[in-house]
Structure 1
C-alpha cells in the first residue's frame, strides 16, 4: 500500500477577495470552485489549492471535520528554471515584494514572496527534493 500524489493543500486567509485577486489575477491559477464565503479552490496541475477563511472552517459544515490555522503557512509551486526571470518581473510589476531568492545545491533557484494573508509562496525548481528521483513537473496552469 502506498499513498499517491498530494490531492490538495490548504492555506488560510481572512480576505478571500484579496486571495482571489492574488492567486487568480497575479499567479494565473484557474478558479475551480467557491464555497459560499467559506473558501475557494484553484487548479495547480493535478493538485488543488484550497483557500479558506479560518473563522468559517471552524464551524461544522456537511460532515467535513472543522479545521483552521493561525500564523503564516507555506506552499511551493514548481516552475521551470528558465522561468525565474519572467516570474520575477511579473511579480515586481504586480507590486509583489520578493523576500528571498535561494540557489539550491541540487540546481535551480527558488523565489519567495507572500500572499495578501502573509502566507509564504515559493516558486521552486523541479529538482528540489528530488535526490534519486525523477524531476517534478511544471504545471501548465502556473505558466506565463
Structure 2
C-alpha cells in the first residue's frame, strides 16, 4: 500500500491572527475554518494547510469531544514547500518583496529546478519550488 498523496500539512504558530493575515493576504490562501485560539485551516490547491497553536493542540480532547483528535504539536520552526513554475516563482519574488517579506535563498538545484525560501511571521521556513526538483 502507498498513499496517493498528502492531503494536509501542518505548521505551528504562536500568533494565529498574524499567521492568518499572512497566509490569507500575502499567500492568497482561502480560509476554510478557524477555531479561536486553536487553529486556522486554509485551502491550498487540492490540499489543506493547517496552522495550529501548539499550546492548545497538546491538550487531550475532552471525554465528550465530538472529534476526538489525539494531542499533537511540536516546537521550533517547521517547513512547507509550495509548488510553482519558473514564471510563478519570479512573480512570487516580486509579490513577497512588495509585502516586505525577505527572500532568504534563491537558487537552482543541481538536478534542475529553482527554489526560493522565506519565513512566515512565526518563523516557519516556506519554500516555493519547481516540482522538477523532485523529478515531478
What's the TM-score once normalised by structure 1's chain length? 0.87
The aligned counterpart of 2:38 is 38
The aligned counterpart of 1:87 is 92
Q: CA deviation at 1:84?
A: 1.9
Q: CA deviation at 1:81?
A: 1.1
Equivalences, count? 131
Q: CA deviation at 1:128?
A: 1.7
Task: Please say if 1:113 is aligned against 2:118.
Answer: yes
Bigger drift between 31-40 and 89-98 goes to 31-40
Q: CA deviation at 1:51?
A: 0.1
Q: How does 1:1-144 map to 2 (within 5 A)?
A: 1-61=1-61, 62=65, 63-130=68-135, 135=136
* DSSP 3-state at the match of 2:73: coil
What's the TM-score once normalised by structure 2's chain length? 0.92
Q: Which has the higher contact order (CA 8 A, sep 6+)?
A: 1
